Amino acid sequence: MNKKNYWPYLLISAIAAILYLPFLGHVRLFDWDEINFAECAREMLITRDFLHVQINYHPFYEKPPLFIWMQALSMMLFGVNEFAARFPNALCGILTLIVLFFIGKKEFSSRFGWWWMWAYAGSILPQFYFKSGIIDPWFNLFIFLSVYQNFILERKKNLGQSGVRNAVYTAIFLGLAVLTKGPVALIIFILCWLASRLTIQGRKNLFNPELLILVFVTIIVSSSWFVMIWFHDGSGQLKLFINYQWKLLTTGEAGHGEPFYYHWVILLFGCFPASVLLFLRNKNPGNESSSQIEWKNYMWIMLLVVLILFSIVKTKIVHYSSLCYFPLTFLAARSLYLHGVEWKNKTGMNLLFWIIGLSISCVLILLPYLGTHIESVSNLVLDPFTKENMKTSVQWPWWTFVPGIIFLISIPASYLLHKRFQNRFLFQFAATILVIQLSQLFIVPRIEKYTQDVPASFYQSLKGKDVYVEVYGMKSYAHLFYFQKPFEKNNLSIDSLLDGKITKPAYFVARIDVPWNILNHQGVKEVFRKNGFVFYRRDP
């Protein structure tokens, strides 16, 4: 690669670093999905046990350790804090935009690569995604790369060329995905592989020698950690891990049982403005090659497989469908790239653009408005915990309205200022980037104050003190991370803390809507209550 070819990658790296690195530690980690993995990494550093994933110093069967290893390494460099917990995903964001440009340029052209990069970076959820501490960014990148390498493998086989190297690459990326999030990686890949085999023309042989290599290397890579666990602990830990993964797929986790169409709506609004481009249909693919058409079909398959799979799965969380960001933004980029050909349904797409854009603008403006009129709003709320939550003292100055106003102006401005279809979307991508950056500075910290500031501040006030801290009647990991619970050989259960013999003060945190039978335990006294949370203490 000559020097001229390096500059796009350096420029993209700089753009991504500006988007994803600043203010990573500006807001506390959110309970549960950010704090739980960060806490696992912290406990690895405390115990120096990097083989087992633990939370509250007990085995944690939800995920394998690869992403947690990344966070632990980051914490070694930057300390145990929010920045360190989110830093691996910021790096993933930089790498992801580079990968999108590289594949777009290789399969289509440099111009396509830029469109794909901007479609991904300039959509709402994908931008939030890399400034979080959740596990999915790396998992999705590994899955996407495995699908792409498998596509190259199949193309080479059709041309009579050897695809051994690509089979190995496919297996390595797939194995890394398994080590990041577990067996769900295999389910997604196999479904995509089967769907592509059965639907894309030109597939004659379902099995070939490269497939055996792919399977063999995948087993080697993905089983590496599981084999170590087997030798260290026997089969018991593995059985518990597998049982938990099956339970996660087949039963709805408390608070996350959403309707079938949940992810369809999330992608439509969350990936705006790229999502509305899916509703364009071109009459003629123009001068696309057969390979380009085939890659497009792969992307449609990935989008539908992931969307349908996680619509069926009982547990539905926003980021479960985040793998769809890759194919969705590819198809959006293709719509922009092929705008020279004749398109159908442009009126419908324009209408959807206005409806979704204005809806999001209204939400962004409504949030600070409600914040400044919180007393009037709280009178309409029936839930006692939410009502008390809303009493949190949060200031909403005039500049908190700026993100919503900018977004509201950008919708008509993209039409009035730019006659060219492509320039409209480039303008909207840029506006979305600006609005999300401002929202993360002005709005997200204030939302965090309502949801968890009171208990998190309490935990931080006890950090380093010789006390016990536990939550009562609710699921939370915040007390572990923000109190920075030390390792103790005799890790007392909550029952022991409430009724057993203790050698130091024990604090308990509960929501006001949790039954107050905690006071029935001898020696437990209420210390104070604030904004929906009640704080108790039991002395030795």
Q: Would you list the domain boundaries of the chain? A: 3-344, 354-425, 455-538
Q: Which of 38-52, 281-295, 339-353, 375-389 holds the top average pLDDT?
A: 38-52
List the single range of 28-32, 47-51, 59-63, 448-452 with lowest mean pLDDT. 59-63
The secondary structure of residue 54, as a DSSP letter, is: E
CB 245 within 8 A of CB 184: yes
What the block records as the tokens of 258 is 């959403």
Strands 343-344 and 468-471: unpaired
Which of 329, 338, 327 is closest to 295 using CA atoms? Answer: 327
Q: What is the mean pLDDT of residues 389-395?
A: 86
The whole-number pLDDT of residue 320 equals 87
Express each pLDDT in 58-81 by its tens digit: 888 888 999 999 999 999 999 999
**Is residue 470 pLDDT above 60, yes or no?**
yes
> How confident is the model at residue 246, as a pLDDT?
75
Local confidence band at 253 (pLDDT 50, 70, 90 cut-offs):
low
Q: Residue 525: in which H helix or E strand, if any?
A: strand 524-530
pLDDT digits (tens, 9 = 90+) for 179-238: 999 889 999 999 999 998 888 755 556 667 888 999 999 999 998 988 888 888 777 777
> Is a pLDDT exceeding 50 seen at residue 47?
yes
Q: Which pTM was predicted? A: 0.93
Residue-averaged pLDDT of the chain: 89
What whole-number distance in Å separates Cα of residue 403 and Cα of residue 341? Answer: 35
Q: Report the Cα–Cα distance between both ends of the chain, in Å, rounded.
A: 69
What pLDDT sits at residue 94?
98
State how beta strands 506-511 and 468-471 pair: parallel
SS3 470: strand
User: According to DSSP H, which parts of 1-34 are helical?
Assistant: 3-20
Q: Using only C-alpha atoms, what is the Rg of the chain?
A: 25
Burial (Cβ within 10 Å: 0-12, 13-18, ≥19) of residue 116: buried
Q: Using CA atoms, how far apart are residues 144 and 444, in angstroms rounded to an integer?
A: 29
pLDDT tier, 245 (very low <50, low <70, confident <90, very high otherwise): confident
Q: List the structure tokens of 440.
A: 């993360």
Residue 254 has pLDDT above 50, yes or no: no
CA distance linking residue 110 with residue 106, whole number of Å: 8
What pLDDT score was predicted for residue 204?
57
Helix intervals (H) in 276-420: 290-312, 325-337, 346-372, 374-378, 384-389, 402-416
Strand-pairing partners, residue 536, are: 508, 526
Structure tokens belonging to residue 336: 């922009």
Token output for 93: 């964001």
> DSSP secondary-structure letter at 31?
T
Neighbours of 530 (CB within 10 A): 16
